[in-house]
Chains A and B, each alone.
Chain A
Amino acid sequence: MKRRPARWILFLVGMVYLLLHLPVLILVVFSFNASRYSVRWTGFTLDWYRRLTERGDLLLGLERSLLVGAVSTILATGFGTLLAVALARRRFRGRRALEGLLYLPIVTPEIVAGISLLVLFVAVGLPLGIATISIAHIAFNIGFVAVIVRARLEGMDQSLEEAALVLGADELTAFRTVTIPLLWPGILAGALLAFILSFDDYVITSLVAGTGSSTLPIVVYSMVRRNIEPSVNAISTLILLVTSLLIWLADRLLREQPLAVARS
């Protein structure tokens, strides 16, 4: 397509981009504002960032989020990658059912996934905490990783794997020394996105966290609900900074198969 959109369309599109990005930019700018109560600009300060370091609950929440993020990312990436390999390279019965099983968690409302897990954990008597949060995060991330890695695998040249097999490598060796290294960028991108989803999740986490194991989003949520201090702006800015970096990195890794297409 190489037509030029009409002026009014370009104008509309410009407004949409403003709607998408202006609120966040404003939020970031005011995290440096000296005034506590008003949105009048009264001077530059880093005070709100300094105050974050004094909040034990935020630091503790961050620690938990990083732990859950790491554990759930590693396991979900492992499981998801194996599923992706099976879907892209093998024939087996129940393939359609498996595709449905991967797709369903993606469209399932988080609130439904969250309370159904809560019912399960309570039914089997598993105490709510870091473990149950991690279990939940693995469950909702497997599908995302599988979809991204599979797209990468399907765009990959199979002749190298075949060459390895012809040259006498057994299947495990070929997988370990050829497929995985070639697939590495896709796996890493999948892992980064899984980490972001885990790190940002509020709804499911809040339902299966119980008391006393609030992750970062849960702490931030309660700050947002009380919503007075500009420290909320500061912590929001930091979260945005970290996740944007990770997204940018994931997008680089998936250059031939951009993120945009991978998720839709």
Chain B
Amino acid sequence: MKRLRTTALLAPGTLWLGLFFVLPMLLMLGASVLHRGVYGGVAPGFTLEHYRRLLDPLYLAVLGRTLLWALLATATCLLLGYPVAWTIACSRRYRTLLLMLIVLPFWTSFLVRTFAMIFLLRDTGLINTLLLRLGVIHEPLTLLYTPFAVLLGLVYGFLPFMVLPVYASLEKLDPALLEASATLGARPAAQFFTVTLPLSLPGVIAGSLLVFVSALGSFVTSDLLGGAKQVMIGNLVQGQFTTARNWPFGSAISFVLMLLVLVAVLASLRLRSPEPGR
């Protein structure tokens, strides 16, 4: 009898990911402790100077800014996305449509969507043109290349990452629990904070993780909406591999970014597992 061996099922995918995901990460880690090559690349010799260099206030500022924006974006996405997820879960007739309208931007070209933001925000963009013609302002407002533009772009870009997991956990919520709490005299607000919110926590955690991690590693948003002044970690990394040609330093920053992501993932796993029935 011909048997499909488990190894045969596993081999191609695992090998590919081993060769083209795990191995590159290890090489990157290796590159981060080597000397800098003259024309890009690396030169032999162990050093920790690239990690020391990251402690320079200049780079610490970028690190801090990135963390702050990622946190702000996550908080804003939660505040805006939770009501959306809840409304979708409550609705019967329009549920499919409402959901599809979240799924669509989830998958459509991030680049195109970011360009749509530029089209609105730039000096000759729609917002400025409208305000000028209405006589509200006399000179175009600087909207693009500001922290505001980047934050707006992050929220706009990653909001669906929050809505979908929160919706998934709200959908599973047993209506009987809400009825029970209502019967026992809970007002809507109390009901929300003691029943709905705690039970949707897994979705909130998953969504927050996705938004936070995506914002942390974002490159396109800050490059296109932030310009040269609003640099985030991702732009710093890219710069070391293109204009600055300092691969080891770029690898070191990149490794720190990966560590931050891993910490966030582990934290979310810990938050999610211990107390399922509180």
State the A residues within 8 Å of B (CB). 1-5, 9-10, 12-13, 16-17, 19-21, 23-24, 26-27, 30, 37-40, 78-80, 82-83, 85-86, 90, 92, 98, 101-102, 104-105, 107-113, 115-120, 122-123, 135-136, 138-139, 142-143, 146, 170-173, 175, 193, 196, 200, 202-203, 207, 217, 220-221, 224-225, 227, 232-233, 236, 239-240, 243-244, 247-248, 251, 258-261, 263-264
Contact = CB atoms under 8 A, between A and B. Distances in A.
A86 B4 CA distance: 10
22 contacts: A1-B170, A1-B175, A1-B178, A20-B160, A21-B101, A23-B116, A39-B119, A79-B16, A86-B10, A92-B6, A109-B217, A109-B257, A116-B28, A139-B21, A172-B2, A200-B108, A200-B110, A207-B241, A217-B109, A227-B115, A236-B115, A259-B103
Contacts of B90: 1-5
Interface in B131-181: 156, 159-160, 164-165, 167-168, 170-171, 173, 175, 178
B99 interface: yes
Given A105-B21, A113-B21, A260-B103, A232 B115 contact: yes
A24 B21 CA distance: 34
B54 interface: no
Given A111-B257, A200-B109, 20 more contacts: A2-B90, A3-B90, A5-B90, A10-B87, A12-B83, A20-B160, A39-B126, A79-B16, A92-B10, A98-B10, A107-B265, A108-B217, A109-B219, A115-B250, A142-B13, A142-B17, A171-B4, A175-B4, A217-B109, A224-B114
A78 B178 contact: no
B93 to A, nearest CB: 12
Contacts of B214: 109
Interface of B: 1-4, 6, 8-10, 12-14, 16-18, 20-25, 27-28, 31, 41, 80-81, 83-84, 86-87, 89-90, 92, 99-120, 122, 124-126, 129, 156, 159-160, 164-165, 167-168, 170-171, 173, 175, 178, 203, 206-207, 209-210, 213-214, 216-220, 224, 234, 237-238, 241, 247, 250-251, 254, 257-258, 261, 265
